[in-house]
Structure 1
Amino acid sequence: MVKQAEAAQNAQLCVQAGGGVKKADPHTAFAGGASQATNLEEDSYEADLRKAREARLAQLKEQQAWRQQGHGSLRELQDEAEFVRIIGPHDRVVVLLDDGREAAAEDVKRALDRLAKSHLEAQFCRLPVERAYFLTTMVQLEGLPAVFILRDGQVTRHLPPSRLFEFASASSPLFPGHLARLLHRTGALLSAEGASDSEGERSGEEDGEDREKPRGALGAWRRA
């Protein structure tokens, strides 16, 4: 009786987890609510962890599929016939066109090969200009090296030397970063990973947003 009287005296109006109000001991009234909140937090954490695992697994499967298609390195093409076969199964293709005689071409080649290793979403290729009859007749080349961007089998961008080296020469240590951002802006890459984080470097590039687009029949090149 004494204990019951003390409990009644200590009881206060307490808000319950469901929103109701009742008299209860404030020292014990919320014990169940705290436990319920902890369980909800644990469930939320487990759900987030499960989603992260599923996303990572999907990413690994996608990367494996890209590697099986030959992504991950700069592929040397023998002729345009091989070029036509190559672009078929790829959503994104980056093609370097050069004559193999310019030092700048070798620098661009090395930069693209490095990007190919970290950007599996795109197929990177090199085609010697003397074996690129269609490309050299369908577009007036400003000079070499030149890069062509293809999306879903269609040429969407032509990047001449004036665009490739607009913000850094091929031999500059800044060039790979500029090239990564340029390819990202033109849709060839899903991100600019591999580029530097300098705001000063990015500002000029954003002001000079990509302006080179293929014209006429060049844009009509589609995969078979």
Structure 2
Amino acid sequence: MPREREGVGIERDPHAQRESKEDDASESLVDKLKGGDFSNVIESAQKAGEAAIEQQLCLTAGGIKRADPHTAFAYQTHAPPPEDPEDEMLRLRQARKMEMQAQQAWKQQGHGSLRELKDEKEFVEAIRPHERALVLLDDGRSDAGEECRKALSRLSRSHLEAQFCWLHSDRAKFLTEMVKLEGFPAIFVLRNGEVQRMLPPDLLFMHASASSPLFIGHLTSLLHRCGALTNGEDEGSSDDEDA
């Protein structure tokens, strides 16, 4: 009997039918790949990848949600909008106005010059109302003390935030007896009327001698680190003379 008629009247196995269909699909896919017709395959792969991305869990400020990570966090990486020029100008004007008001208040308190104190009583009265103050204690017998006084006089004109004073050691008997001094000149740094630091000669002249052009820069940085000044910049000119 011919093979074509062997199956007549006999129901075929469903499992065999599925395998036959899968074999036909595989052969069709192979034919497409061999013939270069695989655009549909690429498109399907891309769609599958996009679907997988869309189902990823993204942690946001509002919690966890399923979203595309390429866009879910876009709002977090955007730079803040630029400041309106008029608002920026207004802010700068207000800041400058407050700075000028502070400088005017400091000048009314006597800031802006190196004040010579008569005695220890005046020393206590002079530094009490100031947030920042520094006092040079010197015996007036060395060139180093004179150069230090000139440097502080120059800084007092550009750093109005602090009260600059100096006191001759002969007028500070109690202070020189109570405080262990390593020599002159020495600088006392005060905040709100209380001594915070005492800077001896070894520290004042650690990086440059008093006669060096670099001395005032090192002194400014040191006073800034100690909190006597709000910044470590020397804004005075090199040819300033003591008034």
TM-score bucket (shorter structure): 0.5 to 0.7
Cα distance between partner residues in 2 of 1:79 and 1:93: 16
Q: TM-score, normalised by structure 2?
A: 0.62
1:53 aligns with 2:68: no
1:105 aligns with 2:145: yes
Q: How many residues align?
A: 156
Cα distance between partner residues in 2 of 1:175 and 1:85: 30
For structure 1, the residue ranges without an aligned partner over 5 or more in a row are 1-39, 196-224
Matched with 1:168 is 208
Matched with 1:73 is 113
Cα distance between partner residues in 1 of 2:189 and 2:95: 28
SS of the counterpart of 2:105? helix
Cα distance between partner residues in 2 of 1:88 and 1:186: 18
Cα distance between partner residues in 2 of 1:137 and 1:150: 19
Matched with 1:12 is none
Which entry has the higher C-alpha Rg, 1 or 2?
2
Structure 1 segments of 4+ aligned residues over 6 angstroms from their partners: none
Cα distance between partner residues in 2 of 1:138 and 1:101: 21
Could you list the per-position Cα deviations for residues 23-70 of structure 1 after superposition, in whole angstroms to 9, with x for gaps in the alignment? xxxxxxxxxxxxxxxxx97x7111111010000000000000000000
Deviation at 1:101, TM superposition (A): 1.1
Cα distance between partner residues in 1 of 2:125 and 2:202: 30
Q: TM-score, normalised by structure 1?
A: 0.67
Cα distance between partner residues in 2 of 1:105 and 1:145: 5
For structure 2, the residue ranges without an aligned partner over 5 or more in a row are 1-80, 236-243
Residue of 151, 157, 160 corresponding to 1:120: 160
Residue of 171, 179, 186 corresponding to 1:146: 186
Cα distance between partner residues in 2 of 1:92 and 1:84: 13
Deviation at 1:137, TM superposition (A): 1.9
SS of the counterpart of 1:63? helix
1:89 aligns with 2:129: yes
In the alignment, residue 170 of structure 2 is paired with which amino acid? E
SS of the counterpart of 1:97? strand
Cα distance between partner residues in 1 of 2:187 and 2:174: 15
In the alignment, residue 99 of structure 2 is paired with which amino acid? Q
Matched with 1:157 is 197
**Percent identity between the two aligned chains:** 59
SS of the counterpart of 2:144? helix
Could you list the per-position Cα deviations for residues 122-176 of structure 1 after superposition, in whole angstroms to 9, with x for gaps in the alignment? 0000000011123212211100000000011100000000000000000000000
